[in-house]
Homo-oligomer: A and B are copies of this chain.
Amino acid sequence: METPDFPRDLERLFNPESVAVVGASNAPGKWGFMMPMNILGGGYRGGLYMVNPNEQSVLGLPTFGSLLDIGAPVDLAILTIPAKKVAGILREAASIGVRNVVIVASNFREVGAEGTDLELEIARIANESGITIVGPNTMGIYSSTSSFCALGAPVFPRQGEVGFISQSGNLGVQLLSWGRRRGIGFSRFVGSGNSANTEISDYLAFLGDDPNTGIILLYIEGIDDGNRLLEVARRITPHKPIVALKAGRGEQGRSAARSHSGALAGAFDLFKGMFEQAGILIAGSTEELVDLAAALSSVPLPRGDRVAVMTMGGGWGVAAADACDREGLELATLSESLVSELDSFLPSFWSRRNPVDIVGNVKRSSHFRVLDSLAKSPDVDMVVAMGTLLGKGFFADNILNTVVRPVYFLARLRTTRLVSFALAITRGLSKSWSRRGERDQEGSGGIDPSEMSKWTDSAIVNRMKALMEDERKPIIAVSVNEEESSFLRLKGSRLYIASSPERAIRVAGKMVAYSRFRASAGPEPDAPDLEGDSG
């Protein structure tokens, strides 16, 4: 299909002042029901017209017999009608000057010759009338700036700077939902579907210029216009990261993609080489796409590949070092002065090298000082911090596990010891309290109760954020608990919390690759300063 040559108005697609839903319905579960429900649920403030000749009203809003009856400008028409009725409605839309149409129906190109004919017909109508078709076979669009949630599923993304173009509607919408739980904010989403007359590259060009979009995600099964896509991408990647998940890599994947979106996927290796040259990051899996979106929207880009790893235990340090080997990152060499700085407050048996193993030292102030020292070192480009995040359940778990459980079992198994146990604990704690604040570098004196106020997630989150602002270096926290890391991320807003050291360092490796690409692409005076955006 040739790229149609008409001026588009994607600004109106993403920020429509008025929207008509053709095929609007009161039947729960139908597309014509879900679309307007989700538009209402998203808090859209513009005009919303329900088109249905057989109903007096839909969802409490008055209906119109057809688009022609609305008698007011319509910026966007959403068609929730079967494939065979689309062409006729499209002609009506053209006649009242609609410039953007979302077509939900499937049964087009992806189902064979008849569907392809239908798709070519609607593309011809749209091209002649200057209409941008989103889809067909799409689950819709989302736009933060107009709180516009025209999606086929009740997913309401957080507002943010991630723009997302997905050839698969279901996968795209589920990734929005996954992103929501991970605390990722989105600016725009579009399910490109079959791309009847609007290609991924068209949306990409818009997002490239969109001041609300700082990072762009792509889910691609196959593309008709690879060269144009690369051309558009090359204009964007020097100032805005693009992350692509390319599906249909192997033989079975390609075949599945053909059956799904009708897309003809090319050889992955060729694709990969071209994309990397254009500065596009390739995500290896759905999970990695989400990880990269979280990281790129949370932490500044590293200026080099030297990683400092902080860990509470050696094993995690080895896992991180292995991951650095795998991703081609260098473990920063600690200078003598940095080692003696750390010597001054860490237990004598700390690793004295990178990974910085603080050997189970639970002094909270030491954690902060290690983070500070590493982040401020000129030998370090980024910090991966393990074991310092506590999670929302930390205090509850700790009290349950360290106090309630022993008491419970004492009561059941050694009842006569309960009173003296309580006394012992009380005495121990009061002794700790009387020695509060005393310097105990070896960390063997137990917990310092005067530090209690520092034992919160907010404390560490705020310290990390301040450090990133000051040093403009990424600090990636690791918490091997996706539930907790999502929670912390939500609280800490711009903080990337990885759920394993391997995932942290994989993401770091891709960020380094992109940072190098940016450096080689040279400075762009007009480019938004993404690194400076980390506060």
Residues of A within 8 A of B (CB): 26-31, 33-34, 37-38, 40-45, 57-61, 106-107, 111, 152, 154-156, 166-172, 174-175, 178, 181, 219, 221, 247-253, 255-257, 259-261, 285-287, 312-326, 330-331, 349, 351, 353, 355, 357, 359-360, 362, 387, 397-398, 401-402, 405-406, 409-410, 412-414, 417-425, 427-429, 431-432, 444-447, 480-483, 486, 499-503
Contacts and interface: CB of A to CB of B under 8 A. Distances in A.
A252 B324 contact: yes
Given A315-B168, A317-B260, A422-B60, A326 B249 contact: yes
Nearest to A443: B29
Contacts of A30: 444-446
Contacts of A61: 414, 417, 420-421
B29 A362 contact: yes
Contacts of A178: 480-481
Nearest to A27: B446
B260 A351 contact: yes
26 contacts: A26-B425, A28-B429, A29-B432, A41-B401, A42-B409, A60-B414, A60-B420, A61-B417, A111-B349, A156-B405, A166-B315, A168-B313, A174-B480, A178-B480, A178-B481, A181-B481, A247-B322, A248-B318, A249-B322, A253-B318, A256-B317, A260-B317, A260-B351, A287-B499, A287-B503, A483-B483
A24 to B, nearest CB: 10
A355 to B, nearest CB: 6
B40 A406 contact: yes
A445 B29 contact: yes
Nearest to A503: B287
A41 to B, nearest CB: 4
B313 A171 contact: yes
Contacts of A167: 315
Nearest to A256: B321
A154 B362 CA distance: 14
A154 B325 contact: no
A146 B424 CA distance: 26
B432 A28 contact: yes
Given A30-B445, A286-B502, A326-B250, A406 B37 contact: yes
Contact of A446 (B33, B221, B326): B33
Contacts of A259: 314, 351, 353, 357
B421 A43 contact: no
